[in-house]
C-alpha cells in the first residue's frame, strides 16, 4: 500500500541533518544503514571498481559507504539540498545528479548495481522506478531494493 508522495521540502529544509545522529528525521534511516551495507556486502560481494547507481540517494547514507568500498557511484535524487550533503560527505568522490528516479538521464546498461532504498514507498508509480532501475543495469547486474515498513509498529 502506498501512503502518499514524499514532502520534498523536508529533505531541503533538513538536508544538513542526514548524518546527524541526533536528527529525529533521519535517525531511523541512519540506524538501518549499517545493516543495509552489510546486506549489500554479503549479497553483492565486493563493489570495488563496480559502477553503482543509487536511486533516491538522499544524503548519501548508502552511496558514501559504497564509494568508501571503491565503487564508482552515481547518486540520483530530487532534493538538491540532500545531494549537496551527499556530495560533501563523499568528499568530492562520486557523482550526484538531480532528477526523477523514474526517468534518469543515464545511459542504459551503465550499472553493475542499482540501489533503491526508502523511495518506492513514497511514489505512486513505483513500477516506473523499478523499470528504470532495470534499464540502468548491465546484463547480469544486481538490484538492491529495501524500505522501512510504514506501519505503526
Which tens digit of pLDDT belongs to each residue from 28-72?
787 888 999 999 999 999 999 999 999 999 999 999 999 999 999
Angle at 141 between CA 72 and CA 127, to 5 degrees: 105
pTM given for the model: 0.89
For residue 148, the tally of other CB atoms under 10 A from its CB is 12
Distance separating alpha carbons of residues 153 and 146, to the nearest angstrom: 17
| pLDDT, mean over the chain | 88
Burial letters 24-46, b for 16+ CB under 10 A, else e: eebeebbebbeebbeebeeebee
Q: How far is it between the farthest Cα atoms of the chain? A: 41
Are the C-beta atoms of residues 10 and 23 closer than 8 Å to each other? no
* The predicted structure's pLDDT at residue 22: 84
- Which residue has 518506492 as its cell numbers? 120
> How large a percentage of the chain has pLDDT more than 90?
67
Q: If pLDDT is split at 50, 70 and 90, which confidence band does 2 have?
A: very low
Q: Which three cell numbers stand for residue 140?
A: 547480469
Amino acid at each position: 500500500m502506498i501512503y502518499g508522495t514524499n514532502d520534498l521540502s523536508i529533505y531541503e529544509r533538513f538536508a544538513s541533518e542526514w548524518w546527524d545522529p541526533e536528527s529525529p528525521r533521519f535517525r531511523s534511516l541512519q540506524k538501518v544503514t549499517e545493516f543495509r551495507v552489510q546486506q549489500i556486502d554479503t549479497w553483492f560481494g565486493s563493489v570495488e571498481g563496480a559502477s553503482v547507481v543509487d536511486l533516491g540517494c538522499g544524503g548519501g547514507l548508502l552511496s558514501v559507504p559504497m564509494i568508501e568500498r571503491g565503487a564508482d557511484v552515481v547518486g540520483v535524487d530530487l532534493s538538491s539540498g540532500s545531494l549537496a550533503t551527499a556530495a560533501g560527505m563523499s568528499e568530492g568522490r562520486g557523482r550526484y545528479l538531480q532528477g526523477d528516479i523514474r526517468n534518469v538521464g543515464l545511459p542504459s546498461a551503465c550499472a553493475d548495481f542499482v540501489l533503491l532504498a526508502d523511495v518506492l514507498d513514497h511514489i505512486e508509480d513505483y513500477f516506473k522506478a523499478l523499470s528504470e532501475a532495470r534499464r540502468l543495469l548491465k546484463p547480469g547486474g544486481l538490484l538492491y531494493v529495501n524500505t522501512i515498513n510504514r506501519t505503526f509498529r
